[in-house]
Structure formats: C-alpha cells, structure tokens
C-alpha cells in the first residue's frame, strides 16, 4: 500500500479485534459495494460520503461487522468517524469506513476507539506499516494480502498499491471481501468510477468459492495525483 507516494497506513490489534487506517489526503475516490439488499452500517455511511468524490482517510475494523445493529450501529459508525476526524483534522466528509467480522453484535466501542487512536498515532509511509494494516483486517484469512505495482503511462511512472481480505466467501459479486487501493496517478472523478467498476467486474465478480454473498463487501480506490501523470485523459474505460 505504502509503495504509493503520499500514502500512509497503520494497523493495531486487541484480541480478536483489529483496526487499520489508510491515509491518502485529497484523493479522488470511488467505491464499489455489495449488491446484497441488507447492508452493514459502514456501507450506509460510505455510500453517502463517496458522493463527494473525495477520500483522505479510511478506517477499517475487523472482528465485528456492525451489521443488523440498527440505528445504534449507524451511530457507532458516525462516532468512530468523528473521533478520527478530531485526531487527524481531516473533515469527517472525507473519511470512509468499513467493517468485517461477526454479524448482529454491537460494536465494542471501548475497544474500537482506543484502536483508532493507536493506529492513527502509528501512521507511516513504510512497507512495515502497510503489512500491519493488512494483518489488522484479517478474520479467518490464513495470511495477509497486499501488493504494489509500478507501470508506465506514455513513459511516465505510476504506482498502484493495495491491501485486501477475504477467504471463504468470494461469490456472488464480491462476497465477502474488503479491498483498499491507492495510486499516485491523476484520475478524474468520471474515470476513477469507470476504472474501479471495470476492475471489479473483471476480478472479484468473476471468482466463485461457495456462492454466498456478504453484507459488508467494499472496494475503494483512491488517486492522490502525486505522480502528476494523468490516466485515460483521451480514452475510455470499458466497464463490462
């Protein structure tokens, strides 16, 4: 994740609960979510905030899905975001959130909020911090999942990095997984939406493990433009 210029990450754990934070300030952003009719509180929030087209911070917890928790779950989600906003001075409107874990239980906020504070205090631009973030979102995964690639666009270098979790249920339509991607490329709001949808359709939506779908599936792409290299400014991206 942190192979991308301008990206910092960190992760912390307490028992069965983990929490990762990913910072990529002033990033153009897009997100794809589960198509399940029932969705978790963090998806309700992030679906709304992503309409602004910008993400500077992602807060991800594991161990509790914050699903089937009603208004209480939404309140906990908003409380987490406001807490992170106060610490980082990042507007709450630029903070996305995601959760994975047990369904139907209230968030243990006495554990989650201290983990938010701890992870934010450890934010770094390093390979080690990227690994920590990847490990902190694992549930039944047997190993952490991260990657980074460097490519050239018209002779100029750009990087893409990411972390993900998901193991038992990978169909239909992303279930159940979380994926967080960042790039230093310059991508317009229109193009970033097309790019992410196309990538998900050609990857996560083509994998089958056991046929189950999740309430929490989320894929987020952030582009902070640090490389100055513009992507697809003259072309189109096929979304199919």
Q: Which residues of 223-237 are buried (b: 16+ CB within 10 A; e: fewer)?
A: bbbbbebbbbeeeeb
How far, in Å, CA of 213 to CA of 175, rounded?
A: 4
Burial annotation 73-112 (CB, 10 A radius, 16+ → b, else e): bbebbeebbebbbeebebeeebbbbbbbbebeeebbeebb
Beta-strand relationship, 17-33 and 8-14: antiparallel
139 labelled catalytic: no
Q: Which of 141, 145, 84 is nearest to 112 (CA)?
A: 84
Q: Please give the Cα distance from 50 to 38 (Å, whole number).
A: 19
- Distance, in Å, from the CA atom of 21 to the CA atom of 107, rounded to the nearest integer, reads 17
- Active-site residue (options: 176, 183, 215, 218): 176
Q: Are 122 and 10 in contact (CB under 8 A)?
A: yes
Dihedral of CA atoms 165, 170, 172, 173 in degrees, nearest 10, equals 30
d(CA 66, CA 83): 17
The set of residues, in sequence order, having a beta carbon less than 8 Å from that of 164 and lying 6+ positions away, is 134, 145, 146, 177, 178, 179, 180
Q: Which residues are catalytic?
A: 176
């Amino acid at each position: 994740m942190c192979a991308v210029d301008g990206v910092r990450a960190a992760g912390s754990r307490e028992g069965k609960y983990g929490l990762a934070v990913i910072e990529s300030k002033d990033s153009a952003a897009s997100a794809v979510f589960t198509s399940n009719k029932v969705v978790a509180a963090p998806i309700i929030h992030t679906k709304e905030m992503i309409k602004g087209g910008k993400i500077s911070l992602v807060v991800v917890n594991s161990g509790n899905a914050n699903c089937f928790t009603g208004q209480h779950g939404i309140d906990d989600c908003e409380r987490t975001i406001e807490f992170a906003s106060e610490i980082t001075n990042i507007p709450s409107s630029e903070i996305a959130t995601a959760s994975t874990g047990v369904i139907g239980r209230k968030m243990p906020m006495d554990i989650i909020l201290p983990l938010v504070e701890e992870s934010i205090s450890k934010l770094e631009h390093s390979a080690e911090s990227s690994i920590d973030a990847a490990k902190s979102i694992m549930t039944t995964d047997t190993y952490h999942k991260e990657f980074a690639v460097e490519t050239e666009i018209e002779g100029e270098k750009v990087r893409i990095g990411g972390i993900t979790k998901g193991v038992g249920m990978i169909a239909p339509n992303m279930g159940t997984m979380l994926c967080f991607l960042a790039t230093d490329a310059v991508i317009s709001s229109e193009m970033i939406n097309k790019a992410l949808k196309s990538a998900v359709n050609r990857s996560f939506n083509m994998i089958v493990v056991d046929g189950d779908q999740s309430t929490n599936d989320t894929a987020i792409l952030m582009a902070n433009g640090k490389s100055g290299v513009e992507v697809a400014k003259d072309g189109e991206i096929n979304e199919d």
